[in-house]
Amino acid sequence: MAAKISLWEKSIFKSAIVNAFRKLSVRHQIRNPVIFTVYIGSLLTSGLFIHSIFLPSEVPCYFILIISLCLWFTVIFANFAEALAEGRGKAQALALRKVRHDILAKKLSSASKKSKIKLTLSGNLHKGDIVLIEAGDFIPSDGEVIEGVASVNESAITGESAPVIRESGGDRNSVTGGTQVISDWIIVRITANPGETFIDEMISLVEGASRQKTPNELALTILLAALTLVFLFVCASSLPYTIYGASITGGKIASITVLVALFVCLAPTTIGALLSAIGIAGMDRMIQANVIALSGKAIETAGDIDILILDKTGTITLGNRQATKLIPADGVAIQTLADAAQLASLADETPEGRSIVILVKEKYGLRGRDIQEMGATFLPFTAQTRISGANLPGRQIRKGAVQAIESYIETLGGKFPESIKKDIDTIARKGGTPLVVTEGATVLGIVHLKDIVKGGIRERFAELRRMGIKTIMVTGDNQLTAAAIAAEAGVDDFLADATPEDKLKLIRRYQAEGHLVAMTGDGTNDAPALAQADVAVAMNTGTQIAKEAGNLVDLDSNPTKILEVIQIGKQLLITRGALTTFSISNDIAKYFAIIPAAFASTYPVLNTLNIMKLASPQSAILSAVIFNAFIIIFLIPLALRGVKYHAVSAEQLLRINLFIYGLGGLIIPFIGIKLIDLILVGLQWI
């Protein structure tokens, strides 16, 4: 899923045009206070037009008609913006719907493969039902594996074609309805009732059906409604003002058509028209990033995050420690050490062991040898000895942690050389793990095992710092190791020796200080912390419990995805703020276009204010109204794509956006209105 949809996709475009007209119903319009007032204005001017056909009026009837049409177009353009955003969501939902077809499920009477199978349609499966799924079957609904292990193709939701393993117990036990088992079998307990599955939820979110206004959107709507109310009073009161003026000068009073036009131009129609489209498009961008937001509020909150808690392993570092360097003991040749280290590790299947083999091959040119041919036997690592190694004819090679080797040598009657201890200390201080290699009672040297910090992560953390977000690394490692990795990765703080409870406590502590905390997690033991965090990104590969605890689900299961989530959240708010600023700044030019035109019939001297030198009062008013309607169309792409976000400080961001949308909003309408006026005159329409 998460198809990339072009902004001007034809089919969506067409249905959006149809829907723009359908949305003209009062029931729909009343939800948006700003556009609703334009709607009333359109009805009013339409009435005035009909009136003017039969009875003489102040202004020519064709003029009222054009104004009325322009106002209707303002409403329709607003509808169109919303319909276009919804259409894009619907296109995404369509792909998901295909996944949600009825599946014939093998319902079991008890949790055993041998129990009786009853064929049931997936729509009839309820929470707690138990089903058997075999190779080739589709998984009928969301659930958790209670028995068996299978590889599952989840490409229908994640878009990732490589199958994933799902097994009972542990952190990989959740399955999603609509995905397909490729091999083996599993028994699954269903965890969702019909219509409440993950896919159902995704569809309704993507379609925007369950979209609720977020707190910020609500606050903005209040502000826009308040501004609209002021402008309503400003325009309505202008009529009595000109009545007073006209009674003295003998001039004409301002016409109602013109005052309605003035009102529509002043009301923040641009942002009012695009507000819901911005919200829907934000959700859509999230889906394009392969993240499912379980609420619109979570996206917005993501923009406010100032603490980000990250697991060390898998997020900041690659999954496992790797050998990075060999340090020989005094008097030992490096080649001897390399040879011994390789022999001790050839049969070692642990990631550390494998990394030693790779290191000696790449750095010291030692190719892999067949250990069996050499008559060697491998001693695997055990928790008791904490040592592994290989026995060759006449040679006993061992590798292990410092203390384990120390006691091993002592039992052999040897002595641990003091000189090597300095190197061991250095490695430990750098956050590495020293592994001592011995042959018999002789220490040959040490292998430096190290956590490898992911490439580019340091830069990302620096970016976060500029955005004002503090990163905290959480790890079960000891203080020393954690400090070294924290320094290398460039995180702001770390929590060492951490248990899941510590993580929860850490989140609570920061929240008590007023911070908003984000974290990622996948395991069941992460669930309490996920539930506590303000923004919790659960990995799609994680357990059902983790997914339910989170408010965002990352289908790619990429722990650094949260950075994108934060950016999308910020972008959403910035787009709203920028268009509000633009909308309000526009009013200044509109005043200079309409006020002289509207009031010059009462006081001709007010024509002096016509600083744009617009051709006539009628062309001035028309130009302003046309500009006001068409600017909505021009800004739809911006509303859907979102304003570009720069990872800079708040101060700089405000400067940039004020310059573009504030100053731009001030100047553009002067140019636009003048141009439209020139065109109207050039075409001799006025």
Partner 1 sequence: MTQHNLLQMFFYFIIIILLVRPLGWYIYRVYEGKSCGLNNIFGPVEQGCYRICGIDSKQGMSWKTYLYCMLIFNMFGMLLLYLILRIQYYLPLNPESFSSIPPDLSFNTAASFVTNTNWQAYSGETSLSYLTQMLGMTVQNFLSASTGLSLFVALTRGFSRQASGTLGNYWVDMTRGTLYILLPLACILAMALSAQGVIQNLNPYQKFYALQNPIEEQTLPMGPVASQVAIEQLGSNGGGFFNVNAAHPFQNPTPLTNLLEMLAILLIPAALCYTFGMLINDRKQGWAILFIMLILLIPIAIMTVISEQQIVPNFISMDIQQTGNMEGKELRFGVFNSAFWTSLTTATSNGSVNSMLDSYTPLGVFSALWLMHLGEIAFGGVGSGMYGIIMVFIIAVFIAGLMVGRTPEYLGKKIEPFEMKMACVAILIMPLFTLLLTAIASVTTLGTSSVSNPGPHGFSQILYAFTSMGNNNGSALSGLQANTPFYNIAGGIEMLLSRYWVAIPVLAIAGSMAKKTFVPKSAGTLSTHTPLFIFFIVSVSVIIGGLSFFPSLALGPIVEHLTFWGYHGS
CB of 493 to partner 1, least distance (A): 13
Report CA-CA distances (Å) from 379 to 255, 367, 665.
98, 21, 75
Count the neighbouring beta carbons within 10 Å of the beta carbon of residue 602.
Answer: 23
Choose, by CB under 8 A, the member of 211, 321, 576, 674 that binds partner 1: 576
Choose, by CB under 8 A, the member of 388, 551, 571, 628 that binds partner 1: 571
* Closer residue to partner 1 (CB): 373 or 651: 651
Choose, by CB under 8 A, the member of 74, 541, 551, 585 that binds partner 1: 585
Of residues 236 through 265, those in contact with partner 1 by CB under 8 A are 236-245, 248-249
611 binds partner 1 (CB under 8 A): no
**What does the alpha-carbon distance between residue 262 and residue 509 come to, in Å, rounded to a whole number?**
53
Q: Of 637, 635, 638, 610, nearest to 624 (Cα)?
A: 610
**Which residues, in sequence order, are CB contacts of 627 under 8 Å at separation 6+?**
590, 669, 672, 673, 676
93 binds partner 1 (CB under 8 A): no
CB 146 within 8 A of CB 168: yes
DSSP 433: E
229 binds partner 1 (CB under 8 A): yes
Region near partner 1 per CB under 8 A, out of 351-359, 433-441, 452-460, 578-586: 578-586
DSSP 654: H
Of residues 124 through 153, those in contact with partner 1 by CB under 8 A are none
DSSP letters along 593-637, please?
A: HHHHHHHTTT-GGGGGG-TT--S-HHHHHHHHHHHHHHHHHHHHH
Choose, by CB under 8 A, the member of 36, 599, 627, 670 that binds partner 1: 599
Region near partner 1 per CB under 8 A, out of 173-181, 301-309, 351-359, 385-393: 301-309
Partner residues linked to 313 by β-bridges: 317
Region near partner 1 per CB under 8 A, out of 65-73, 214-222, 374-382, 672-680: 214-222
429 binds partner 1 (CB under 8 A): no
* Closer residue to partner 1 (CB): 514 or 682: 514
CB of 611 to partner 1, least distance (A): 12
CB 440 within 8 A of CB 392: no
* Closer residue to partner 1 (CB): 24 or 681: 681
Element spanning 674, H or E: helix 664-682
CB of 651 to partner 1, least distance (A): 6
* Closer residue to partner 1 (CB): 99 or 609: 609
Binding mask 625-664 for partner 1 (x = CB under 8 A): --------------------x---xxx-xxx-xx--xx--
CB 186 within 8 A of CB 150: yes
Choose, by CB under 8 A, the member of 44, 234, 441, 667 that binds partner 1: 234
Region near partner 1 per CB under 8 A, out of 32-40, 44-52, 218-226, 527-535: 218-226
462 binds partner 1 (CB under 8 A): no
Which tokens belong to 484? Answer: 């070294």
219 binds partner 1 (CB under 8 A): yes
* Closer residue to partner 1 (CB): 524 or 586: 586
* Closer residue to partner 1 (CB): 397 or 643: 643
Binding mask 485-524 for partner 1 (x = CB under 8 A): ----------------------------xxxx--------
* Closer residue to partner 1 (CB): 53 or 218: 218
* Closer residue to partner 1 (CB): 112 or 237: 237
170 binds partner 1 (CB under 8 A): no
**What does the alpha-carbon distance between residue 449 and residue 431 come to, in Å, rounded to a whole number?**
9
581 binds partner 1 (CB under 8 A): yes
Q: Of 413, 416, 410, 380, nearest to 398 (Cα)?
A: 380
Choose, by CB under 8 A, the member of 18, 209, 218, 401 that binds partner 1: 218
Element spanning 25, H or E: none
CB of 683 to partner 1, least distance (A): 25
Report CA-CA distances (Å) from 582 to 232, 529, 558, 621, 664.
20, 41, 37, 20, 7
DSSP 663: I
> Taken in order 660, 665, 670, 672, is the CA torsion positive or negative?
positive
Residues contacting partner 1: total by CB under 8 A: 82
Region near partner 1 per CB under 8 A, out of 147-155, 346-354, 403-411, 583-591: 583-591
Pairing type for strands 470-474 and 442-453 reads unpaired
* Closer residue to partner 1 (CB): 294 or 308: 308
What radius of gyration do the chain's Cα atoms show?
35
* Closer residue to partner 1 (CB): 584 or 680: 584
DSSP 6: -
580 binds partner 1 (CB under 8 A): yes
Count the neighbouring beta carbons within 10 Å of the beta carbon of residue 196.
Answer: 12
* Closer residue to partner 1 (CB): 138 or 231: 231
CB of 542 to partner 1, least distance (A): 28
The catalytic residues are 311
**What does the alpha-carbon distance between residue 409 and residue 383 come to, in Å, rounded to a whole number?**
18
600 binds partner 1 (CB under 8 A): yes
CB of 226 to partner 1, least distance (A): 4
Choose, by CB under 8 A, the member of 9, 304, 463, 548 that binds partner 1: 304
Choose, by CB under 8 A, the member of 97, 465, 505, 508 that binds partner 1: 465
211 binds partner 1 (CB under 8 A): no
Helix 215-249, helix 33-54: angle, nearest 10: 30
**What does the alpha-carbon distance between residue 36 and residue 236 come to, in Å, rounded to a whole number?**
17
470 binds partner 1 (CB under 8 A): yes
Region near partner 1 per CB under 8 A, out of 145-153, 309-317, 395-403, 582-590: 582-590
Q: Of 680, 669, 663, 681, nearest to 594 (Cα)?
A: 669
Which tokens belong to 85? Answer: 């955003």
Choose, by CB under 8 A, the member of 17, 50, 182, 223 that binds partner 1: 223
* Closer residue to partner 1 (CB): 210 or 649: 649
Region near partner 1 per CB under 8 A, out of 51-59, 72-80, 365-373, 565-573: 565-573
Q: Dihedral, CA atoms, 40, 43, 46, 51, nearest 10 degrees?
A: -100
Q: Of 89, 118, 129, 86, nearest to 3 (Cα)?
A: 89
SS3 category, 381: coil
Region near partner 1 per CB under 8 A, out of 35-43, 80-88, 318-326, 567-575: 567-575
**What does the alpha-carbon distance between residue 20 and residue 100 come to, in Å, rounded to a whole number?**
29
CB 485 within 8 A of CB 502: no
220 binds partner 1 (CB under 8 A): yes
**What does the alpha-carbon distance between residue 327 and residue 448 come to, in Å, rounded to a whole number?**
8
300 binds partner 1 (CB under 8 A): yes
Choose, by CB under 8 A, the member of 3, 18, 111, 222 that binds partner 1: 222
**Max Cα separation, the chain?**
122
Residue 250 zone, left/alpha/beta (φ > 0; ψ -120 to 50; rest)? left
